[in-house]
Structure 1
Amino acid sequence: MTNARPIASVSFDLDNVWSFLKTHGDRQWESRPSYLSTATPRLVEFLGESCLTSTVFVIGADADRDDGAEAVHAFATAGHEIGNHSYEHEPWLQRYSAARVAEEIDRTHAAIVAAGAPAPTGFRGPGYSTSPTLERLLAERGYTYDASTFPTWIGPLARAHHLRTATLTAEQREERAHLFGGANQAMLSLRPHRSPSGIAELPVTTMPLLRTPIHGSYLMQLYSVSPRVARWYFGTAVRLCLARRIGMTMLLHPTDLLDRRDAPELDFFPGMAIPARDKYAFMRWVTSTMQRHFTVVGTGDHVTLALEAEGTYAPAR
């Protein structure tokens, strides 16, 4: 397998308008505003035109409503894997009791199946939240992989920015005290591996060596400064991944293809001033670049193929 191309994957976290507002501390979230009727066909079209089979991680509270169930059906019908993204999308999931974590998993699992998709076998925590309890509960339920870890040191900086710009009560600030994790996350493996619970872990890829983010929203932040810089940065990440034989897990959100006209409530979110057509073109360039250098699959297949290629289930940095 040494001459084979590294495995890569593209996944979407189907975070909705209300989930962004909730994390931001905006009370508007309680009315559950949604852009799924706009985002879903655009994402399905993007994946189809890019010839990509993806994994879409769905929030249970959305899968339980009409537009969310329609989104699950649309993605599943188009051949994409549906993953579990918790029920209420609270990025402080690691603070919950085991019973509450189990409820988050189980309610979402049931909602996805009720919407007509195969039972999910993969999970991604909101805001990269994970814990040994979560991993154990997933393994007990027959899930094959978790895709929540984010090996970067930038978490405290992102949290400080979030707390500075969000309108939060003292209680909400306490909930978010460990949002996005600590700087020690940079020590986590970039390669798929088995966790102590026995479940496979597929990290969200960060820049090898530097351990800075390369996911879609971060690239859009760079693009808003300079499209040339964004392309150089991502190209550098690809070259480093290839040099170190590290597969790439590219995480995207609907906001990476939408603009402020599609979701005016999210005007505070980075990159929303970039026209949707420009985002679409840039993300097509990102995914086509990946396809030139990697074998690009969904996250479930990524886990299986990468671990087979490694020939081991032990963590490897």
Structure 2
Amino acid sequence: MSEPAANGASSPPRACLTVDLDSLRFYRDIHGLDRRRDGGPDAAYTVGVRRLLDFFADHHVPATLFVVGRDAEQPAHAELLAEAVSKGFELGNHSYSHFYDLPQRPLEIRERELALGEEAIEAAGGRRPVGYRAPGYNITEDLLQLVASRGYLYDSSVFPCPPYYFAKGAIMAWQRLRSRPSRSAMTPASNLLAPIGPYRPSRDKLWKPDERSRMPVEVPMCLVPGLRFPIIGTSLHLLGESGFNAVYPLLAGAYDEIFQLEFHAIDFMDADDVDSPELVAAQPDLRVPWEKKRALYTHVITRLREKYIFTTLEDAVRALA
């Protein structure tokens, strides 16, 4: 699928670091915890986004940030987003309210979530987003058709990862038994059949590639081929440098066009940044010190530079034939 370069050579493979800017209240939703202090600036921005902007700037990486529109309306958050754009970052649409069950909501709600998200992100960053990521990776054919109707270049919501899918279902069932139900939602099981690399999905079967389709390009979350073990911020903490080194040859062999590595803002935080012991207890990655994360992410970026050039996800998709 690579587009020929001006000299006749193939376009170089791209590494795209993407970050979902989910506020801490969404993690309280996932774990069934009470919401607290949701009116002002959120630490996921004042600490997490501040830290990731500095970290990526130090490594000369232009990342793609998927923004919840309602959060972009907070002045302190909007200031950070404007700074991100000034540094060459891309802002994508992560909906307006981050409803995990958005595909099951009425059509007018789905339309409103996309439209208001676009407006808030454009107001903060000066440009309408061209990429979408569904809250909780919960994308369906109907929702993607709506994304397509609004002229998006790409979607990056499919997570065809059986270990993640079944672990999520088990955790949600366990929380229901404890009378602390999660506000998250399961994704369609059929999405597990999707390819691991970028593809143009069929209009009626999201998981099925169709080069004749006019749907936005789909860029799934990164997985180890065969095993389909997830390669995202959380799993990097489990693998460590040696584990990433072990799977990197498989990843580099499988991703010849776009290597998309997803993080969340919380991946740039640790327990010292959160004033909720309950949330720290429920979210293991918060118990990994930031300095340890910084060293790991630096190692990952260094390895990726052996093969890839870093661009935003928009630029990488536009480079596809």
Fold match (TM-score > 0.5): yes
Q: Aligned pair 1:20/2:27, yes or no? A: yes
> Residues 43 and 288 from structure 1, CA distance in 2 versus in 1: closer, same or farther, beyond 3 angstroms?
same
Cα deviation code 1:87-134 (max 9, x no counterpart): 121222222222211111111111111223311000001111111122
Corresponding residue of 1:286: 300
Whether contact under 8 Å (1:22, 1:29) holds in the other structure is no
Helix, strand or coil at the partner of 1:261: helix
What is residue 192 of structure 1 aligned with on the other side? 198
* Alpha-carbon distance in 2 for matches of 1:241, 1:44: 26
Q: Distance in 2 between matches of 1:219 and 1:299?
A: 20
Report deviation, 1:20: 1.3
In the alignment, structure 1 residue 41 sits paired with structure 2 residue 41: no
Do the aligned partners of residues 200 and 284 (structure 1) sit closer, same or farther apart at CA in structure 2, a change above 3 Å counting? same
2:153 is the counterpart of 1:147: no
- In the alignment, which of 225, 238, 254 is matched to residue 208 of structure 1? 225
Equivalent residue of 2:286, what SS?
coil
Residue of structure 2 equivalent to 1:314: none
Q: In the alignment, what sits opposite 2:253?
A: 243
Q: 1:53 to 1:142 in 2, by over 3 A?
A: same
CA distance in 1, matches of 2:12, 2:241: 22
After TM superposition, list the pairs within 5 Å mapping 1:159-174 onto structure 2. 159-165=169-175
The yes-or-no answer on 1:137 pairing with 2:146 is: yes
The alpha-carbon distance between structure 1 residues 10 and 163, as it changes in their structure 2 partners (threshold 3 A), is: same
Count of residues in Structure 1 that have an aligned counterpart in Structure 2: 296
1:127 to 115, 132, 136: 136
Aligned 8 A contact 2:233 2:263 in 1? yes
The answer to whether the aligner puts 1:8 opposite 2:15 as a matched pair is yes
Q: Alignment partner of 2:262: what SS?
A: strand
1:256 matches 2:277: no
Residue 284 of structure 1 and its aligned partner are, at CA, apart by 1.3
2:139–2:187 Cα contact (<8 Å) kept: no
How has the CA–CA distance of structure 1 residues 210 and 59 changed in structure 2, closer, same or farther, with 3 Å as cutoff?
A: same
**Structure 2: 5+ residue stretches without partners:** 204-214
The secondary structure found in structure 2 opposite 1:31 is: coil
In structure 2, distance between residues paired with 1:142 and 1:254 = 27
CA distance in 1, matches of 2:196, 2:283: 27
Is residue 50–residue 288 contact of structure 1 (8 Å, CA) maintained in 2? no
- Using the alignment, how far apart are the partners of 2:202 and 2:220 within structure 1? 15
Provide closer, same or farther for how the CA distance between residues 32 and 90 of structure 1 changes in structure 2, counting only shifts above 3 A: farther
CA distance in 1, matches of 2:177, 2:296: 32
Are residues 296 and 238 of structure 1, via their aligned partners in 2, closer, same or farther at CA, if it must alter by over 3 Å? farther
Change (3 A) 1:16 1:26: same
Find the aligned partners of 1:135 and 1:23 in 2 and give their Cα distance: 24
Q: List gaps (5 residues or longer) in structure 1.
A: 223-228, 309-317
Question: Is 2:234 the counterpart of 1:217?
Answer: yes
Say which of 96, 102, 111 aligns to 1:87.
96
Q: Which residue is equivalent to 1:225?
A: none
Identity %: 26
Offset at 1:245?
Answer: 4.4
CA RMSD of aligned residues (A): 2.3
| Residue 7 (structure 1) shift | 2.4
Is residue 113 of structure 1 aligned with residue 122 of structure 2? yes
Per the TM alignment, residue 143 of structure 1 is displaced from its structure 2 partner at its CA by 1.0
Q: State the shift of 1:163 in Å.
A: 4.1
Moved more, 154-163 or 247-256: 154-163
User: Contact 2:68/2:93 (CA < 8 Å) preserved in 1?
Assistant: yes
CA distance in structure 1 between the aligned counterparts of 2:229 and 2:24, rounded to whole angstroms: 26
Say if 1:47 and 1:54, in contact at 8 Å, map to a contact too.
yes
